[in-house]
Amino acid sequence: MRTLALVISCWTGAHASLQKSFALSSAEALSAKEAERCELSREQKWQEANELRAAQLQSSSKTQEKRLGDLHLQLMGKERPTEEELNLDQLGAALQRRQADIDHLLQATEAAIARKKAAFVPAQ
């Protein structure tokens, strides 16, 4: 009888040990699966964030290109030429014309400032 009790006790202890081991391996398996799921989720979120950022940059680039075209139209009085239409001679001539316009505006502004200063200086 004592032997039977000892065998039952050992079997119960072994059974409990196996249950703990199974529970730990199940928990480890669940933990590994959960970690893998989290890693996939992180990678997916990172990829989605990159795609969103790329779309924002592309939109920003298009907006900046449109603004540049609008500024060119304002400054030069005509649409920006395409790359095929441009060559170095045309660019040089356009820059010289623009520089002449800027010089003329600068001289006119300086003359206007001088006139205003002269008008506000009291006669002595």
Cβ neighbours of residue 72 under 8 Å, at least 6 residues apart? 79, 80
Task: Pick the last residue of a domain from 65, 80, 95.
Answer: 80
Domain that holds residue 110: 87-124
Quick check: is 41 in a domain? yes
Quick check: is 103 in a domain? yes
Quick check: is 13 in a domain? no
Contact 80, 72 (CB under 8 A): yes
Query: Whole-structure pTM over 0.85, yes or no?
Result: no
For residue 5, the one-letter residue type is A
Please tell me whether residues 35 and 70 are part of one structural domain.
yes
DSSP string, 81-108: PPTTT--HHHHHHHHHHHHHHHHHHHHH
- Digits of tens for pLDDT over the chain (124 positions)? 555 554 455 555 555 665 665 555 665 666 777 777 777 788 888 888 888 888 888 888 888 888 887 887 777 777 766 666 667 777 788 889 999 999 999 999 999 999 988 888 766 5
Quick check: is 10 in a domain? no
Q: How far apart are CA 108 and CA 95, in angstroms?
A: 20
Please tell me whether residues 74 and 92 are part of one structural domain.
no
Please tell me whether residues 61 and 101 are part of one structural domain.
no
Determine the 3-state secondary structure of 79 from DSSP. Answer: coil
Structural domains counted in the chain: 2
Please tell me whether residues 41 and 76 are part of one structural domain.
yes
Quick check: is 38 in a domain? yes
DSSP string, 17-60: HHHHHHHHHHHHHHHHHHHHHHHHHHHHHHHHHHHHHHHHHHHH
